[in-house]
Chains A and B, each alone.
Chain A
Amino acid sequence: MNGIPISHILFVSTALFFIGMYGMFTRRNMITMLMAIELILNSVNINFVVFNKYLWPGKMDGIFFTIFIITIAAAEAAVAIAIIINLYRSHKSIDVEDAAEMKY
């Protein structure tokens, strides 16, 4: 594992970040968008772990942060999905473009 330079891993996390971003911008299904956000969060997780492991191995700050992010992401997803389900009841669709009544 030490053989892998930090830049490679950061490249992965950055890629993940932008993939998530891309997904967020382009997917119209709300659940997919949620997943895209999870990708972003995961890229952050990788960042934290990597920084902790490679740069600041003295303390476990990064690792802890990651664990909290994972937990909170789960909570967030739960609420989000609940909301999406409720939205589906009224809109009969989970296409994000269909839920754009309020504007301007």
Chain B
Amino acid sequence: MNYSSYIALIPLLPLAGFVLLGLFGKKYFKTFSGTIGIFLLLASTVLALYTAYQYFFINGKVNDVYQSIIPVKYTWLQFSSGTSIDMGIILDPISVMMMVVVTFVSLMVHIFSLGYMKSEERFGTYYSFLSLFTFSMLGLVVASNIFQIYIFWELVGVSSYLLIGFYYDRPSAVAASKKAFVVTRFADLGFLIGILILAFEGGTLDFNTLIQRLTDTQSSQFISITTASFLGVSVLTWALTLVFIGGAGKSAMFPLHIWLPDAMEGPTPVSALIHAATMVVAGVYLVARLFPVFSINESSLHIVTWVGMFSALLAAIIACTQTDIKRVLAFSTMSQIGYMMFALGVAHKNGETGLGYTASMFHLFTHAFFKSLLFLCAGAIIHLVHSNEMQDMGGLRKFMPVTHLTFLIACLAIAGIPPFAGFFSKEEILLATYHANKIVYVIALFTSGLTAFYMFRLYFSIFWNKPKELHGHPHEGTFSMKFPLIILATGTMVAGFIPFGHYVSSDGKILETPFHLNFSIAPVLFALTGILLALWMYKKESNRPHRVASALGGLYHSAYKKFYMDEIYLFITKKIIFNLVGRPANWIDKNIVDGTMNGIAYSTAKISGWIKGIQSGKVQGYALYFFSGIILLVIVVLYLWK
């Protein structure tokens, strides 16, 4: 166990990149900024891979069980003797896995952006933000302390804010960045309160100690947190649900998903980063990190399952109707994250029942490859077409063969066609749900069909269909843009063959995940149906999509409108919060609180006016007051107040 502190460099190198580029990027490095960012991150990636190698193959195991190791830990803020925020690095299967994913995907995005953002004026700033984003996410995944995760959680939020609002002179980008931040902030409130409850009940903020205390049925903390209840629900359920709300916010689970489509306002490579490796998987990671605690509490797991399930289905339905390619991808992310969530929800602590856990993490892993690939492809396409709308595209396969091919690979992967990565992970998830909950299984199966449909709808509309007029000489991007696509496509093809259960499992032991041919027939059939349907509708230009849409009528329309979620939110915020809370608060302040103070002043002046008559200017009046004053005082002193 000789992890020296070089591990700390993994997150710190991107931080250095952020500081360096943020302070000097614009003035001194200019176009050189990208290279600096890439090299720093490359170093980070190499270190992460080395760490993974060390951990998984050399010294991560004790008695065949992967241990949770904390090689670096500093006390950051001491609250009381037991509780403190520590800045540390935890090494366990999921964190190591995530470290690799984050650095790798981020590196690809960095490289891709070199070409994509070339002409951008704030090139240095862009890279510094990317570095910050990477740093935040790395800090999040290695967090050994629940508050550390919250800190980086917030930093992830602000990085996404900065990147989504990167084109700050577009009002829509500003609004989208604000929306993303506020919605996730709202969710973070739940997370924060959840942390407070857990920290209070567990008496610590340290993950390992916390998990150990709260899962040990003999410990006083466990007894207290499970027996105490609030509004009839046990405190543990409350805490976990609140933590899950935080996760749901970042992971865009229903009903906190509304920021996700708008977040497409940012530069496309950023979307790749957000969707594949950073922000949105943070919620899944959080649940996975606290999984031992979740696993002893059925009710919270049910919530995770159903929210994940519903989000997956809802997003898939909406994705079928969207016309903006990035939005389709965004909803597909939401749907896939839903998969990961309910996979976690159906899992249990030990052995075979923990399959969902492994499956979820596996899916997270494979999803990172194909989703970043999809987004980068989309970036390349948008770079060429200068539009996000499907109707502006068509027949692009001639102009961009590399993109076409890699996109197809990614689509097949996400649709769950063997032997691409998505197939394996998705199959594991379905297997896990099949054993745990048949209803979920059926819906998941249906959703996977939908997934295949909307992905191929996208594919056919972009690359086939009727070619659109493109001005200039359309050509694929530079090498720096093609290179990441190829790498990621390779990853997508091979990632599925990793025996994931050997490395990541709910109890740290090796979990064999045998391949059942019989079982995988159904999902593949569903996927193929979806693909064929898409082929039928979108391969050539026709009015079939239109006919189908009008046949579905209201359903289509409301799915197109994202089931009016935005409108509902707008109503709540604008009408209810703004008008019913903000405005009255302001009114009260202006009129009642302030009015009281002014009223005191006013009435003092008024009284002063009333009594001015005493000073009549007439000596006799003065004498009268004088004399009556004496008499009154005598009466008071003698009789009234002795």
User: Residues on A close to B: CB < 8 A?
Assistant: 21, 24-26, 28, 33, 96-97, 100-104
Chain A residues within 8 Å of B627, by CB: 21, 25
Q: Which residue of B lies closest to A27 (CB)?
A: B620
A-contact bits for B403-444, CB 8 A (1 contact / 0 none): 000000000000000000000000000000000000000000
The answer to whether the Cβ of B618 comes within 8 Å of any Cβ in the partner chain is yes
- Asked if B623 and A24 make an inter-chain contact with CB atoms under 8 angstroms apart, the answer reads yes
- Asked if B619 and A96 make an inter-chain contact with CB atoms under 8 angstroms apart, the answer reads yes
Q: Give 7 nearest A-B pairs by CB, closest first.
A: A103-B617, A100-B617, A104-B612, A100-B618, A104-B615, A24-B623, A25-B620
A33 to B624, CA, bound (A): 13
User: Residues on B close to A: CB < 8 A?
Assistant: 612-613, 615-620, 623-624, 627
**Neighbour of A100 across the interface among B616, B623, B624, CB < 8 A:** B616
- Asked if B619 and A101 make an inter-chain contact with CB atoms under 8 angstroms apart, the answer reads no
- Asked if B618 and A96 make an inter-chain contact with CB atoms under 8 angstroms apart, the answer reads yes
**Neighbour of B617 across the interface among A24, A26, A101, CB < 8 A:** A101
CB distance from B172 to the nearest CB of A (A): 65
**Neighbour of B620 across the interface among A96, A102, A103, CB < 8 A:** A96
- Asked if B617 and A102 make an inter-chain contact with CB atoms under 8 angstroms apart, the answer reads yes
Name 25 A/B residue pairs within 8 A (Cβ), A-sorted.
A21-B627, A24-B620, A24-B623, A25-B620, A25-B623, A25-B624, A25-B627, A26-B620, A28-B620, A33-B619, A33-B620, A96-B618, A96-B619, A96-B620, A97-B618, A100-B617, A100-B618, A101-B617, A103-B615, A103-B616, A103-B617, A103-B618, A104-B613, A104-B615, A104-B617
Chain A residues within 8 Å of B620, by CB: 24-26, 28, 33, 96
A93 to B346, CA, bound (A): 108
A53 to B620, CA, bound (A): 35
Chain A residues within 8 Å of B619, by CB: 33, 96
Q: Which residue of A lies closest to B620 (CB)?
A: A25
Chain B residues within 8 Å of A21, by CB: 627
Chain A residues within 8 Å of B612, by CB: 104
A23 to B624, CA, bound (A): 11
Q: Which residue of A lies closest to B612 (CB)?
A: A104
Q: Which residue of B lies closest to A103 (CB)?
A: B617
A49 to B627, CA, bound (A): 24
Chain A residues within 8 Å of B623, by CB: 24-25
Chain B residues within 8 Å of A26, by CB: 620
CB distance from B538 to the nearest CB of A (A): 91
A21 to B615, CA, bound (A): 20
Most chain-A Cβ atoms within 10 A of its Cβ — which of B615, B618, B620, B627? B620
Chain A residues within 8 Å of B624, by CB: 25
Chain A residues within 8 Å of B613, by CB: 104
A104 to B615, CA, bound (A): 5
A21 to B628, CA, bound (A): 11
Chain A residues within 8 Å of B616, by CB: 100, 103
Chain A residues within 8 Å of B618, by CB: 96-97, 100, 103
Q: Which residue of B lies closest to A99 (CB)?
A: B619
CB distance from A94 to the nearest CB of B (A): 12
CB distance from B53 to the nearest CB of A (A): 95
A100 to B618, CA, bound (A): 6
Q: Which residue of B lies closest to A102 (CB)?
A: B617
Q: Which residue of A lies closest to B623 (CB)?
A: A24
Q: Which residue of B lies closest to A36 (CB)?
A: B623
A100 to B616, CA, bound (A): 8
Q: With A24-B620, A25-B623 given, can you name 20 additional A-B contacts, CB distance below 8 Å? A: A24-B623, A25-B620, A25-B624, A26-B620, A28-B620, A33-B620, A96-B618, A96-B619, A96-B620, A97-B618, A100-B616, A100-B617, A101-B617, A102-B617, A103-B616, A103-B617, A103-B618, A104-B613, A104-B615, A104-B617
CB distance from A101 to the nearest CB of B (A): 7
